[in-house]
Structure 1
Amino acid sequence: MNTRFRFLAALLLAAAACTAGAATKTIQLPPDGAQLTPSPLPGYAKAQVNCVACHSAEYMLYQPPTAPRGYWEAMVKRMKAVFKAPVPDEDMPAIVDYLVKTYGNEKGR
């Protein structure tokens, strides 16, 4: 056996031994302080599934109310690219539309 293979095998065995004895941990999150603002826009349901699965709806309230569509587009793209949010590409425009019309500078349009 070559040295690299033995090292890799030992590393895998050590990792397996560590995870075998590890206990499952649970986390109790505090209740959300805010809910997404209901809307008939299709992005509302998509935001409920994709956005608040990872963070509170309160996050939207911290964004500038004058934020334009480009800001919200960048924010949704950032969530997907940087934080690996599992948002389907085809849902992104509807989510952006909901966010900008509910929390951004197109509110009420």
Structure 2
Amino acid sequence: MEHRKMLAAAVAAVMLGVAGPARADAKRIELPADGLQLKPSTLPGYAKAQANCVACHSAEYMAYQPPTAARPYWEAMVKRMKAVFKAPVDEADMPAIVDYLVKTYGNEQAP
């Protein structure tokens, strides 16, 4: 009996346009501009990070990581983004991205 009630509610929602195609009065969300950009670099990972990392999140994410973070930390973060969050990062690009991140935001920064 509960299944029939749920089915009837779903049919009613579709007929009323609640669960159908986008409605003309649909709300739009505009996100604020990023407060930070990636730090420019001549490292190959810079362009790869621009293409991959900031497509999903702000550069603030990198800037707020511990500046003492070593290469294994950044490797784990990049692998996590790919495995857990399904970031479309090419495996071949991952070492260059890690190299850029650790040398720009981690413990391998030039003084």
- Normalized against structure 1, the TM-score is what? 0.79
Give the aligned partner of residue 48 of structure 1.
50
Give the aligned partner of residue 19 of structure 1.
20
Distance in 2 (CA, whole Å) between partners of 1:82 and 1:105 is: 25
Distance in 2 (CA, whole Å) between partners of 1:73 and 1:93 is: 8
Q: Hey, which of these two has a bigger chunk of helix by percent?
A: 1
Question: What displacement does 1:26 show?
Answer: 3.5
Question: What displacement does 1:86 show?
Answer: 0.7
User: How has the CA–CA distance of structure 1 residues 39 and 26 changed in structure 2, closer, same or farther, with 3 Å as cutoff?
Assistant: same
- Can you list the C-alpha shifts for 1:18-42, whole angstroms capped at 9, x where unaligned? 333x336542110111000000000
The runs of 5 or more residues in structure 1 that have no matched partner are: 1-9
Give the aligned partner of residue 40 of structure 2.
38
Percent identity of paired positions between Structure 1 and Structure 2: 74
Give the aligned partner of residue 58 of structure 1.
60
Could you tell me which of 90, 96, 103 is aligned with 2:92?
90
Question: What displacement does 1:108 show?
Answer: 1.2
Give the aligned partner of residue 6 of structure 1.
none
**Pairs aligned (count):** 95
How much is the aligned-residue C-alpha RMSD, in angstroms?
A: 1.9
Distance in 1 (CA, whole Å) between partners of 2:95 and 2:44 is: 10
Instruction: Say which is worse superposed, 39-48 or 25-34, in terms of deviation.
Output: 25-34
Instruction: Say which is worse superposed, 23-32 or 94-103, in terms of deviation.
Output: 23-32
The runs of 5 or more residues in structure 2 that have no matched partner are: 1-6
